[in-house]
Amino acid sequence: MKKKSYSFLVIALMLCLALLTGITNPVSAADAEAPIKLGGIGPLSGAAAVYGIAVANGANIAVEEINALGGLQFELNFQDDEHDAEKSVNAYNVLKDWGMQVLVGTVTTTPGIAVSAESFADRIFTLTPSASSPQVVEGKDNVFQMCFTDPNQGIASAQYILDKELGTKVAIIYNNADAYSTGIYEKFATEAEEKGLEVVSTTTFTDETANDFSVQLTEAQNAGADLLFLPIYYQPASLILSQAKAMDYAPVVFGVDGMDGILTLENFDVSLAEGVMLLTPFVADATDDLTVAFVEKYQELYDEVPNQFAADGYDCVYAIYEALKDSDITAESTAEEACDYLVGVFTGEEFVFNGLTGDNMTWSETGEVAKSPKGMVIQDGVYVGMDAAEDSEND
């Protein structure tokens, strides 16, 4: 066994040296105007890769567009964190060695909480596209969110269901091993109780048991639920929809932003999602110029329809661009200078950002974004604004 240790020792030394000399540093672009270094962190491999890759792609498009404009230049270095706090902090440190001035990240919540604690201590401005727990920004003046917080989604969902009288008896199925899902559920449950919305069945699943939902659906059906609230991602939701149909159970289905993506799920029978309602900040088939151009470019480059994560990534880069373009922050500025400036702009009165994921976005001192969710309903395989759908029914 001893022989093994020696070969290891050699490899170990080589690896340590490689790390010390910084082999990981990518060569920076040799442009006339030195670019500002944007770091990005999210899962590019593992079970959550779909979200991280989307954010990275969206952010890349934004960087290319901005650089093509001339003037302020960006360079994006996006690192994988495998949806793991430890790997995320590693990625953050790699970016710090690279000379990151502003951080776009992280994509997911738990890594986000770990990394934002670091970037807060290091005074690096952080704008997360989609880490939606309030703990990501809580108590950190330089950390901001592009997405809604989970509790806000819970409150908004309960409000929407009450206001539009979508259902009287609510069943909830959520992922009790997932921070995002549980975060929305908890606030929704409290809000529903306060507002007098009757919840008749609450069941859960975990990633390990996200295949058979017969128990959860049967319980909901037996309890007489006429509305099914699904604060979960679209992959398990698609299974729930098809299993509900198989057992002839057809409640109103109400989802949150994680439900977005269900229509672009490859090979998915969209008729299963007919009538599904969801709150989402981004709709890929919206007809405004910005969305159309973005979706076209995204499809051309990546051969896929972008989801809200891609839009969040795109918006993050543009928000930073908007905030920086009239400043004297350059590639030579320290991260701290950029941070102080950006915090000032983001919390300033006059900073209003219009992006793919919302109009007239503003940020509070706490770092949370203020924008209005779009209530959508799926009709004939496309999203229709909930209000528009109502109008057309009234006609």
Footprint (CB under 8 A) of another protein, residues 112-141: 113-114, 117-118, 133, 135
Binders of another protein in range 316-375 (CB under 8 A): none
Q: Which is nearer to another protein, 204 or 362 (CB)?
A: 204
Q: Is 373 left (phi over 0), alpha (psi -120 to 50) or beta?
A: beta
Per-residue CA distances from 155 to 60, 137, 162, 185 (Å): 33, 19, 11, 10
Of 164, 169, 200, 203, which one interacts with another protein (CB under 8 A)? 203
Rounded CA-CA distance 309/57 in Å is 9
- Decide: 218 and 173 in contact? Cβ < 8 Å: no
Decide: helix, strand or coil at residue 321: helix
DSSP readout, 172-199? Answer: EEEETT-HHHHHHHHHHHHHHHHHTPEE
Choose the binding region for another protein from 63-71, 202-210, 281-289, 375-383 (rule: CB under 8 A).
202-210
Of 38, 59, 72, 94, which one interacts with another protein (CB under 8 A)? 94
Contacts of 261 (CB under 8 A, 6+ apart): 233, 234, 307, 308
Tell the smallest beta-carbon distance from residue 78 to another protein (Å). 9
Tell the smallest beta-carbon distance from residue 161 to another protein (Å). 20
Q: Which is nearer to another protein, 14 or 293 (CB)?
A: 14
Q: Taking CB under 8 A as the rule, does residue 215 contact another protein? A: yes
Q: Write each residue from 14 to 53 as x if it is in contact with another protein (CB under 8 A), else as -, in one continuous string.
A: -xx-xxx-xxx-x-----------------xxxx-xx--x
Q: How many residues contact another protein, by CB under 8 A?
A: 89
Binders of another protein in range 143-162 (CB under 8 A): none
Q: Taking CB under 8 A as the rule, does residue 300 contact another protein? A: no
Q: With CA atoms as reference, report the closest residue to 213 among 253, 184, 165.
A: 253
Tell the smallest beta-carbon distance from residue 32 to another protein (Å). 26
Q: Taking CB under 8 A as the rule, does residue 99 contact another protein? A: no
Rounded CA-CA distance 311/297 in Å is 12
- Decide: 320 and 342 in contact? Cβ < 8 Å: yes
Q: Taking CB under 8 A as the rule, does residue 5 contact another protein? A: yes
Tell the smallest beta-carbon distance from residue 199 to another protein (Å). 13
